[in-house]
Amino acid sequence: MVTLFKSILQSLYRWLTHSQPGSRILPSNFFNVQMDAIGVGMASAALPFVAVFLARLGADSYQVGLITSMPAIAGLLLSIPMGQYIETRKNIVPWYSISRAIGLSRFAIIGLVPFFFKDENAIMAILVIWAIFTLPQTLLANMFNFLMNMVAGPAGRYELLSRRWSIIGITTAVTVFLAGQILDRVVFPVNYQIVFILFSLGGVFSYRYSKRLLIPDQIDPPKYKGKGLFRIYRELFDLVKHEPPFLNFASKRFVFTFGLTMVSPLLTLYYVRQIGAPDSWIALFSTVQTLLNFVGYFMWLRVSHTKTSRFILVSTTFVMSFYPLMVAITNRFWMLAVFAAVQGLFEAGLNLVFFDELMKTVPLNRSATFVSIAQSLQFVASMGAPIIATFLSDQIGLSYSLMAAAVVQLLGFFMFWRGKPMKNEKPDENPVQTG
């Protein structure tokens, strides 16, 4: 029995971390991307508990909303300049690995806060730390799509990222489950300190493998030195207005993401304040969602072989639009776990199709700049949505605010459903195969 179990685990490990026969992705790159995912998944398990920690410290709705909106504020201000800076780098791998390690270390620093601050001072200290670490996170957000596209090429995006996000999902699910046990068995706030400090070690693991990624150096990167800010933004405007497919997709994604981002702070407040869910149940909601993410990436990868991207896009946005509505009309923990599972299953498909559809609309020679522009739009949504959501929750209640978020997501779904199918891009003739 032990031998059989070991054999199953070895087979699963090989399947997750090695590309399919005939893949055009460099094998070492495929492996390092997936190993990096383990570290990211481990550290990411701490993420859903930051807002919960603030709520249990006594933070108000606005302060809880800042956890979602602050990275968006920094991203909105810095995304395009950072994107252009990255576009001028000869090779972005060192920047990516260092930014990843620094960004994930913020959880350990938050874990140290209760040693030095109490009550309201602790809340403010955590918010300041979160604000500071939005800088490496913004840089990372600009690099991720660009780097993964360089590694995978158009033909390998579903394969590479379905495996990566599957690994992140299963790692996060297991780690979040362990977090729930620690949080329920250790006195507050030491329980949260243990979780944050322990799981931040995933950043070290991530750095070890992400720095080994191999992509070709840029031969003649663009230069922006000597250009005024107004001229740079005018050139960007001229670039974007000649790319209707990019504008079309980015605007629709903005609407759907706005509704999606409204949900994040509302869920935390709904669990803690309205239904009084214990930490173990909150951990379970996150665990089942990430576990079904894991299943979903396998499922949607297979679906992508027989169905169009448009089918995946419409299906996922339609189902996910009803998640906040279903949460708003129940307070039964087991039903919320079921809804979280369905959300996780379809969220996997949404992540894959959003990445793939975006990269179809981005000019290959200006990928970093166009990705940064798309990220800026996302940051606008992420900045405004949590503030509006928490304001609404104070005015009309958490349940009705969740319903409002569902309406916004449904609007995004209708925009995708009514839109014309996007044309498929040509296969990449020069994917990354050598170092």
Instruction: List pLDDT tens digits, range 132-158.
Output: 888 888 788 778 877 887 787 766 777
432 pLDDT exceeds 50?
no
389 touches 65 (CB < 8 A): yes
Question: Which range among 21-35, 88-102, 178-192, 307-321 shows the weakest confidence by mean pLDDT?
Answer: 21-35
What pLDDT, on a 0 to 100 scale, did the predictor assign at position 64? Answer: 81
Tell me the mean pLDDT in the region 354-363. Answer: 80
What pLDDT, on a 0 to 100 scale, did the predictor assign at position 85? Answer: 74
319 pLDDT exceeds 90?
yes
Tell me the mean pLDDT in the region 319-341. Answer: 91
Question: Which range among 190-199, 270-279, 327-336 shows the weakest confidence by mean pLDDT?
Answer: 270-279
Element at 350 (helix H, strand E): helix 333-361
Give the three-class secondary structure for 242.
coil
Tell me the mean pLDDT in the region 288-311. Answer: 84
167: pLDDT confidence band, cut at 50, 70 and 90? confident
407: pLDDT confidence band, cut at 50, 70 and 90? very high
Distance from C-alpha of 62 to C-alpha of 74, rounded to nearest angstrom = 17
What pLDDT, on a 0 to 100 scale, did the predictor assign at position 413? Answer: 94
Tell me the mean pLDDT in the region 383-388. Answer: 82
431 pLDDT exceeds 50?
no
Alpha-carbon separation of residue 250 from 170, 303, 365, 403, 408 (angstroms): 29, 24, 19, 24, 16
1: pLDDT confidence band, cut at 50, 70 and 90? low
Alpha-carbon separation of residue 433 from 29, 65, 362, 403 (angstroms): 9, 43, 22, 48
What pLDDT, on a 0 to 100 scale, did the predictor assign at position 402? Answer: 92
Tell me the mean pLDDT in the region 52-71. Answer: 81
Answer whether the bond into residue 71 is a cis peptide, omega within 30°.
no
Distance, C-alpha 70 to centroid of its chain: 15
Distance from C-alpha of 156 to C-alpha of 312, rounded to nearest angstrom = 17
What pLDDT, on a 0 to 100 scale, did the predictor assign at position 408? Answer: 93
What pLDDT, on a 0 to 100 scale, did the predictor assign at position 4? Answer: 57
User: Which carries the bigger pLDDT value, residue 165 or residue 78?
Assistant: 165
Distance, C-alpha 244 to centroid of its chain: 26
Tell me the mean pLDDT in the region 211-239. Answer: 68
* Average pLDDT over all residues of the chain: 80
What pLDDT, on a 0 to 100 scale, did the predictor assign at position 203? Answer: 87
Answer whether the bond into residue 363 is a cis peptide, omega within 30°.
no
Tokens encoding 344: 């996780």
Tell me the mean pLDDT in the region 9-25. Answer: 62
Distance, C-alpha 388 to centroid of its chain: 21
What pLDDT, on a 0 to 100 scale, did the predictor assign at position 430? Answer: 37
What pLDDT, on a 0 to 100 scale, did the predictor assign at position 81? Answer: 73
65 pLDDT exceeds 70?
yes
User: Which carries the bigger pLDDT value, residue 24 or residue 171?
Assistant: 171
User: Which carries the bigger pLDDT value, residue 121 or residue 172?
Assistant: 121
Residue with tokens 């920094």, as numbered in its chain: 74
Residue 50 CB partners (closer than 8 Å, separation 6+) = 67, 107, 110, 126, 130
